[in-house]
Amino acid sequence: MKNTKALLEQFDTLTSSLTNKNMVTAFSLLGFEGYDETDFASFKLWGDYLPIADEHPYTETQHNLHVLWEALDRSPLSINVDFAIPLREMIAKRLFKKCGVGFVANEGCRFNYGHLIEVGDNVTWNHCCYIDAKGGVSFDDFSMITEYTKIFSHGHSESDHMERSYAPVKIGKYVKIYTACTVLPGVTMGDGAVAATGSIVTKSVPEKTLVAGIPAKPVRDRKTEGKQYHELNHYTLKDKAFQVEKGE
Radius of gyration of the chain (CA): 19
Among candidate residues 228, 227, 229, the one with its CA nearest the CA of residue 122: 229
Q: How far is residue 71's CA from residue 87's CA, in Å, rounded to a whole number?
A: 12
pLDDT band at 90 (very low <50, low <70, confident <90, very high): very high
pLDDT tens digits, one per residue of 50-82: 888 888 889 999 999 999 999 999 999 999 999
pLDDT band at 248 (very low <50, low <70, confident <90, very high): low
pLDDT of 1 strictly over 70: no
pLDDT tens digits, one per residue of 199-244: 999 999 999 999 999 999 999 999 999 999 999 999 999 999 999 9
Q: How far is residue 6's CA from residue 50's CA, in Å, rounded to a whole number?
A: 38
Give catalytic status of residue 156 as yes or no: yes
CA atoms lying within 13 Å on the CB side of residue 161? 1
Calculated CA dihedral for residues 131, 12, 101, 179, nearest 10 degrees = 30
Q: Give the total residue count for the chain.
A: 248
pTM of structure: 0.95
Integer CA distances (angstroms), 226 to 210, 231, 246, in order = 16, 9, 19
Say what the pLDDT of residue 202 is. 98
Catalytic residue among 63, 66, 154, 156: 156
pLDDT tens digits, one per residue of 135-169: 999 999 999 999 999 999 999 989 998 888 999 99
Say what the pLDDT of residue 161 is. 87
- Residues 178/209, Cβ–Cβ less than 8 Å: no
- Residues 164/154, Cβ–Cβ less than 8 Å: yes
CATH class of 96-228: mainly beta
Integer CA distances (angstroms), 66 to 78, 94, 118, 181, in order = 15, 10, 15, 24
Q: How far is residue 196's CA from residue 201's CA, in Å, rounded to a whole number?
A: 10
**Per-domain residue ranges for the chain?**
1-95, 96-228
Across 242-247, average pLDDT: 86
Quick check: helix, strand or coil at residue 48? helix
Mean pLDDT over each residue of the chain, to the nearest integer: 95
pLDDT tens digits, one per residue of 117-130: 999 999 999 999 99
Say what the pLDDT of residue 247 is. 61
